[in-house]
Structures are given as C-alpha cells and as structure tokens.
Structure 1
C-alpha cells in the first residue's frame, strides 16, 4: 500500500463526514473533496455546510457539473488559495479530481443515503487505485461505511 497514513486519514475523514451528515453531493464545501480539504485545514462548517472564515478556492481547479456529471478542469487555476487547499490534503489536484468525479458519479435515481453510500464506494475504489490497495483492504474499508 502506498502512503498508509494518508489513506487512513482520508478514510477516517470520509467515514466521519458520512456518519455525521456533513457529506453532501453537489456542494463543493461538503462533498468528498470538500470534507477532505476542510478536515486537513481545520475548517469548520456553519449550519449550511459552508466553510466558516475561508473562501472555497479548490473548485476553481476542477469541479463536476451537477446535472451533466461532466468535470471541468482548469489546471492554470492551481495557485494561491486553491493550491494551498489542495496541497493540504497530501493528494495532487489530479487525484482529488478523480475522487470528486467518483463521488459525484453516484446514480441520482436512488435515495439520498443510497447515493451518498454509492458515491463513497466509488471513492474507495479510486483510493484503491491511488494507494495500490489489495481487494481485502478495499473490502474492509467499504465495510467501515455500513451504518448499524
């Protein structure tokens, strides 16, 4: 496994976001990447799942369009606050773009909780590629998201 510490930290962030209901599709401050960045930069949320005291900048580099499921990438915007937010995660902007695309690609014709879960399962698959996970580790990770 590549970078076990980063993988474990990321999974913990996503599990906490899922179980604490701070994970929201089509919300750059509260999607999978938004939660990863917020946790790594110690950014808190207000009641509308917006970052308190911080400008949301990472989405100027890449963003998945909500109704088209197409991702727009602007690598030239990888500077300033956007770069700071992305770099805080330990992932490249390209890796985070893969994570975001996977999360947002979950089928929309399911319940919100099913969509969230399916998006997270897709994220675990992407993390498996990034971190070179074996199938056993990937399956064990997916089980962390099961609600009792």
Structure 2
C-alpha cells in the first residue's frame, strides 16, 4: 500500500510519542497535533479553543491561503485533534467544566485516541484503514460433507 510522506511522518511521530510516554491530550505540544507538528504549539492559534472544530480569523486566513503544516491544512489539523480528544474520552472543546477522563495519560485511553486518529489520517489520505483489524479475521466459510456409516 502506498502512503503519503505526511502520513508516514505523522504515524512515526505518534508511535514514538506513545511509546516514549510523551503523548498528553491536555498539552498543546504533546497532543496528537502537537506531536505531528514537532512538539510545537503554534497550531493552537488556528482556533479559539483546544478541540474546537471552527477556525478563527488566523486559521481562516491560513486555510484560504492554502497553507499546510507538515502537510496538513488548518481544518485537517483541527479535525485530527478533535478526533483524538473525543476518542480519549474528552468532551470538546477542552475547558474546566467539560467531561474528561480520570487519567488522561493512561495507555488504554491514549491507544483509543491513537486508533481513532490513525483511522482519520487514513481517511484524509484516502487509503485503507491500517487500524482495521477485522481483515485479519476474515475467513472463507466452508462446508463439510459428513459420511454417515
């Protein structure tokens, strides 16, 4: 399967962050998009709230100009982050009154977030979902004829 360089780079960064325990949904530099963008938080200026799917003025300008950040448009970045946060159990946008998991850096929670994020990255790049494990369990139904003596 052929993938884009942005997809490969994003997956590598997310995988590394997960295994190095440097993935944190509540930190703009260590969340899904923060890691994809080399642990920078400049992307947070594209919307008014962490996890918000609406571009603010700055985000709209970058989107209109066709700007890409490590290959992703501002709208794609917001969609990636929102997907990650929701799959981790957060109510978005993040704020002190919205629902959040008890331990947001628990590996099971982060794995759920990564799985959803990787599925979205596949969808954005129009490639088969690499997280779809159901294909591993597909089988061909066969019938057996039993001979009764």
Report the TM-score when normalising by structure 1: 0.65
1:65-104, aligned counterparts within 5 Å? 65=50, 71=52, 73-78=54-59, 87-104=68-85
Gaps of 5+ in 1: 44-50, 81-85, 141-148
Q: Which residue of structure 1 lines up, in the alignment, with residue 44 of structure 2?
A: 59
Aligned counterparts of 2:75 and 2:53: Cα–Cα separation in 1: 12
Q: CA deviation at 1:22?
A: 1.1
Tell me the residue number matched to 2:126.
132
**Secondary structure of the structure 2 residue equivalent to 1:73:** coil
Q: Which structure 2 segments of 5+ residues have no match?
A: 62-66, 90-100, 134-149
> How many pairs are equivalent?
116
Give distance in 2, aligned partners of 1:35 and 1:97. Answer: 14
For the 8 Å contact 2:55–2:75, the answer to whether it is kept is: no
Higher helix share: 1
Q: Which residue of 1 aligns with 2:25?
A: 25
Aligned-residue offset at 1:139 = 3.4
Q: Compute the displacement of 1:116 (Å).
A: 0.6
1:121 correspondence with 2:115: yes
Answer whether contact 1:60 1:74 (CA < 8 A) is retained. no
Larger strand share, 1 or 2: 1
Higher relative contact order (CA 8 A, sep 6+): 1
Structure 1's consecutive aligned runs of 4 or more residues displaced over 6 angstroms after TM superposition are none
CA distance in 1, matches of 2:48, 2:5: 26
Contact 1:102 1:122 in 2 (8 A): yes
Aligned-pair Cα RMSD in Å: 2.9
| CA displacement, residues 13-43 of structure 1 (integer Å, 9 cap, x when unaligned) | 10001111111011101101001111xxxx6
User: Structure 2-normalised TM-score?
Assistant: 0.64
